[in-house]
Amino acid sequence: MARDDDSGLRDEFLAEAQEIVEALSRDLLVLDQAEKEGTTSAEQINDLFRSVHTLKGIAGMFGHPTIGAIAHSLEDLLDQLRLEKVALTAEVLDVLFEGVEHFQRLLQSEEESEAGIDLDAFAQRIGQSLGVQDGGATEDPLRALDLEEAMLSVLTEYEEHRLRANVEQGVTIFRVGLRLPLLSIDESLESLKEKLRSLAEIITYLPSMDGGDAEHIELVVLIASTSDKEVLEAAIPFEGTRVEEVKRRDGGPMSLGPVEEPQTTDLTDLIAAAEAAPSSLTHAPPSAAQLSGANQADPLSVRSVSNTVRVEIDKLDHLMNVVGELAIIRSAIFRISERFRSESAMRELSIELHRINRGFERNLLELQNGILDVRMVPLGQVFDKLARIVRQAAREHGKEVRLVVSGKDTEVDKLIVEELSDPLMHIIRNAIDHGIEPPKQRDMAGKKPTGTLALSAYQRGKHVVIEVEDDGGGIDHEAILRVGIERGVITRDAAAELSREEIYNLIFTAGFSTKSSVSDLSGRGVGMDVVKTNIARLGGIIDVDSEPGIGTKFTITLPVTLAMISALLVRVAGREFAIPITSVREALVFEESEIRMVEAREMLTLRGSSLPLCRLREFFGIADAPPPERQFVVVAEIGSRRVGFLVDELDGQQDIVIKSFGPSLQKVKGFAGATDLGDQRVALVIDVPSLVEESGMQMDRARLRAGGGV
């Protein structure tokens, strides 16, 4: 992007433009699906046109000529689609998608010249879609109309566009003079729109130069209609209405432009023109539509006025840190009040302090929940981007793929949404490249030629579950073992002891791939290991389930937020640890004698089910003293996996802010970070997903050894 002297203005442009481009991408994917199903509508194309037009306007205002030029050319193409002069084909959709991709690259580039876009080639594809041959420019129809220059100068770009389009098609333009009572202007304009709905297109409402009086307003309404003047006069329900046909200044025919073949301008010329034009907006007088709240005259708004503001995530992080510090203070106050309570002379003061702390706690909780709620955004922001990747990957591999999405409104922390894009993108690309078969192969297998890729999300307690499921060929676990042995990822002896789940998990090993050829999308042995690493960094786990010939499902389980969490404080061998409460199902006391061995694993029978155990003092290497006879088991659950953590003591529940380790400690296994408990105590935060996963692997290996094979 071109550097702006005012970085605030540039940030404002980027934020607004990104919203418009995301809306464009969503609407274009809807249109693409509708084209395949034969259910396209004019409204779908109108939505795209409005977004492109708005983007062109703000690009001109903020001085981004390349974006403006591309938007201008797409606007021409979309208008011809609306007028049904160009058919909506796969090739035309490709051009529209290419334009959106250009917008995205330009918004991500520091300088427009660095985006690497071949504007000439894109202009040629636009021209081919329009069926345009080389030709000269034509006279501007608007300047030939017998309309005051002052009136033309206050038209919006869209109003100019519709006026010009009607003139080029030979539709008669009428000027309608109205005198309406101010107190009932809303009802009057609604009545006018209803009466003219089937007779004319309303181009614009403008205040008349005559003004009116204290009780009335004089308006000029430009309309386009194929009906006679008398028919229009009879249809308009107001006394004193004046209807005049707008003629050409020279008395020539109204159809001035080439109707059969729309002309397009070279994109380089458009950019040059945009750079030469003033970057500021000329503010027109308010129209009657603005005075009355009617919006038909300007249908291009892609966003309604809403009670929302953009907030930088750093500001929310700062507020969340403040809340964390307040939580520490609250805990300190509580402990002091408990000490007061033990002194009889201080009992009355303790009760008062406790009451104040309860009020402080309520307000703090309300503040905490409010900030967390602001941080929450729908997963649809990620899902919409992935739909475009599905289309691109399917076309590249010559496959037919139908994307089914559910749970777009499921909300998670903004930081999690931002980090999810890459992992989900890799999973989807691998599903299309490795999983879903080509149409002929699917037909031979008795499947529909079009594969299905299902992307879903739902909330389960304090976690969000995201599933990516395809109906492809499934994972060949024998091929995975063979490649793993060939590449030295695993030995033959170790391979013989792997469970089915552990075999599937080999695909997350760095550099692992069963593809013999390399594509732009996958097969390079890059991606799936990054997926698991990124998911783990977010405090989540990923599971794989597959059936040969039926399909594969990836299940990702993540916490709803990482900003501030409630934790169960526990003690092991005199050391304090924090376990995120979102993963805790229950905690109970037990005796060492209750533990039994099942398939070489320590188990505890809990309500008729076997619960695998994990001794934290042994896992973390702090078994410097024997465990007490009376211990506690904390039952943790992530997704479908459960494990019981053996601890010496329970120290209560507390809200904590997790502080990340420095670079040298980030690879320490089993810990998500540390937290300050407020009274010069620091607790290590247990990484529950990694411990649950490790415990599950140990159990699978034990079961495999006991059973004698895979």
Task: Give 492: exposed, middle or buried? Use CB within 10 Å, 0-12, 13-18, 19+.
Answer: exposed
Instruction: Show Cβ contacts of residue 84 under 8 Å, excluding neighbours closer than 6 positions.
Output: none
27: enclosing H helix or E strand: helix 7-37
- Indicate the DSSP class of residue 282: P
Instruction: Show Cβ contacts of residue 218 under 8 Å, excluding neighbours closer than 6 positions.
Output: 177, 178, 179, 207, 208, 210, 211, 212
292: enclosing H helix or E strand: helix 288-292
Report CA torsion sign: 95, 130, 165, 202. Answer: negative
Instruction: Show Cβ contacts of residue 649 under 8 Å, excluding neighbours closer than 6 positions.
Output: 570, 571, 632
Is 139 a residue of the active site? no
Instruction: Show Cβ contacts of residue 115 under 8 Å, excluding neighbours closer than 6 positions.
Output: 66, 102, 105, 106, 108, 109
Is 53 a residue of the active site? yes
Is 75 a residue of the active site? yes
CA distances from 14 to 1, 52, 99, 275, 555 (A): 9, 15, 17, 19, 34
Three-state SS string over 64-88 comes to CHHHHHHHHHHHHHHHHHHCCCCCC
**468 in Cβ contact with 387 (< 8 Å):** no
Instruction: Show Cβ contacts of residue 217 under 8 Å, excluding neighbours closer than 6 positions.
Output: 179, 180, 182, 185, 207, 288, 291
Distance from C-alpha of 503 to C-alpha of 495, rounded to nearest angstrom: 8
Q: How many CA atoms lie within 13 A of 384 on its CB side?
A: 18
Q: Of 64, 75, 166, 534, which is the active-site residue?
A: 75
**135 in Cβ contact with 108 (< 8 Å):** no
Q: Of 102, 168, 411, 430, which is the active-site residue?
A: 430
Report CA torsion sign: 338, 340, 343, 347. Answer: negative
Q: Of 53, 64, 426, 463, which is the active-site residue?
A: 53
* Residue whose entry in the numeric block shows the structure tokens 């300190």: 332
Distance from C-alpha of 532 to C-alpha of 542, rounded to nearest angstrom: 7
Annotated catalytic sites, by residue? 53, 75, 430
